[in-house]
Amino acid sequence: YDIVLVVASEESPDQTVLRLRYFILLTSRREPYAKLENERKLGKFRTVSTANHLLVTGVAPRETSPPTSEDLPEELLESLHNSPNNRLERRASTQLVEIKQEMVNYLGYYSSHEQFMQQLILQQDKFARKNVEEMIAKVSLHCRTHFLWNKLITQGMSPTYAEFCELLSLGHTEALADMDPRVSPILAQPVSWYQGLVKLLMAKYAEYYRTFLSLDGSQQYLLVLHPRIPDGFVMVTIDFNVARGELNAVTNRICGERNVSNAFLPGLIEDVINACCFQLWTGLL
């Protein structure tokens, strides 16, 4: 068989609901190529039951026949024709009469070709349903990720702390110390130094930063954004529970290396490292 999966969208009254219909088309190669295979297996006999209501119009109930015109005079025939009883009888003759329901069993023959086709279409139905569900889940994940990133970089909008945590789980986070081990000595500083660094970065990137604080106040986050990097930022994290701070680069996992804006991310990281060096020099003075 040649198997084709057709997915069609269907209009939905609710704009938040996506309705899809899928069809599986099986084209038998045996039909265009009759001698491609030989039928060697026997089929099966199965019972097919049918029970339908049959309606017949114009069937009147059996009644005694009225006298003929030969037996009655002309005046009496005219009076009988216009009588109410006669009009009711004519009306009843046009009503529907239902025939008694009947159960009929037939013995149908199903060849091995038809049985194999039935099994194959059931397998393809499960496979197609799984593919459609995976496709919808993937599209939903992409839409949710783009929504969170757009909400983060849009001026006048800011994600909630729960949405920020969700964005981190959907993104790729890498520590700057792992990207370049040479910056590890610079970043090995106490919490007070990181608090001063946060104030410095907030003053330097006055319009391009976001701050988040955990619900219990134990973790503080500063996100340094850039107008040319819609899918990445540098994050300063301060964990007061363990008295430690760190710098990370966060990128959109969906875009990955295909995103051209990632070419500007190293420049942003370099600017943040320069700010760290400035913070060190001011601490020595």
Please compute the mean of the pLDDT values over residues 100-118 and round it to a whole number.
65
* Residue 231 clears pLDDT 80, i.e. is over it: yes
Do the domain assignments include residue 233? Answer: yes
CB 158 within 8 A of CB 151: yes
Confidence of residue 108 (pLDDT cuts 50, 70, 90): low
Domain shared by 129 and 190, yes or no: no
- Provide the terminal-to-terminal Cα distance of the chain, rounded to the nearest Å: 80
* Whether residues 128 and 186 fall in one domain: no
The first and second tokens of residue 157, run together, are 């909008």
101 part of a folded domain: no
34 contacts: CB under 8 Å, gap ≥ 6: none
Query: Is 103 inside a domain boundary?
Result: no
Residue 270 has φ and ψ, to the nearest 5°, of -65, -40
What would the mean pLDDT of 68-90 be, rounded to a whole number? 51
Mean pLDDT of 151-170: 92
Confidence of residue 2 (pLDDT cuts 50, 70, 90): confident
Mean pLDDT in residue range 107-114: 65
Amino acid 149: pLDDT: 92
22-31, 126-135, 136-145, 246-255, range with the lowest pLDDT = 22-31
More confident residue, 105 or 58: 105
pLDDT higher than 90, residue 210: yes
**The token pair that represents 266 in the structure block:** 């190293």
124 confidence band (pLDDT: 50, 70, 90): confident
Domain extent, residue 16, equals 2-41+113-142
Statement to judge: residues 117 and 225 lie in one domain: no
Annotate 60-77 with b (16+ C-beta within 10 A) or e (fewer).
eeeeeeeeeeeeeeeeee
User: Is there a contact between 194 and 245 (Cβ–Cβ < 8 Å)?
Assistant: yes
At 120 the pLDDT is 83
The reported pLDDT for the residue numbered 44 is: 55
Is 108 domain-assigned?
A: no
Q: What is the pTM of this model?
A: 0.60
Q: Which of 118-127, 238-247, 256-265 has maximum average pLDDT?
A: 238-247
Do 136 and 248 reside in the same domain of the chain?
Answer: no
151 located within any domain: no
169 and 137 within one domain: no
Based on the structure, what is the number of domains in the chain?
2
Residue 253 or 54, more confident: 253
Please indicate, yes or no, if residue 245 is contained in any of the structural domains: yes
In a shared domain, residues 177 and 247: yes
Q: Are 240 and 169 part of one and the same domain?
A: yes
Q: What is the dihedral of CA 74, 77, 81, 84, to 10 degrees?
A: 130
Query: Do 124 and 169 share a structural domain?
Result: no
Burial of 141-153, coded b for 16+ CB within 10 Å and e otherwise, reads eeeebeebbeebb
Dist. CA 29–CA 116, nearest whole Å: 13
pLDDT category, 53, cuts 50, 70, 90? very low
Query: Same structural domain for residues 266 and 172?
Result: yes
Q: Are 224 and 234 in contact (CB under 8 A)?
A: yes
Q: What is the pLDDT confidence band of residue 190, given thresholds at 50, 70 and 90?
A: very high
Residues 36 and 136 in one domain: yes
| DSSP state at residue 58 | S
Predicted local confidence at residue 187, as pLDDT = 92
pLDDT band at residue 102 using 50, 70 and 90 as cut-offs: low
Q: Rg of the chain's alpha carbons, rounded to an integer?
A: 40
Between 55 and 33, residue with greater pLDDT: 33
Identify whether residues 34 and 135 lie together within a single domain: yes
The average pLDDT across 229-257 equals: 88
Q: Please check whether residue 159 lies inside any domain of the structure.
A: no
What is the pLDDT at residue 257? Answer: 47
Residue ranges of the alpha helices (H) in the chain? 74-81, 84-92, 112-153, 161-170, 176-179, 184-187, 191-204, 265-284
Are residues 225 and 124 part of one domain? no
**Backbone torsions φ then ψ of 19, nearest 5 degrees:** -110, 125
CA distance 242 to 74: 119
Tokens at residue 28, please? 């038998």
Q: Does 254 reside within a domain?
A: yes
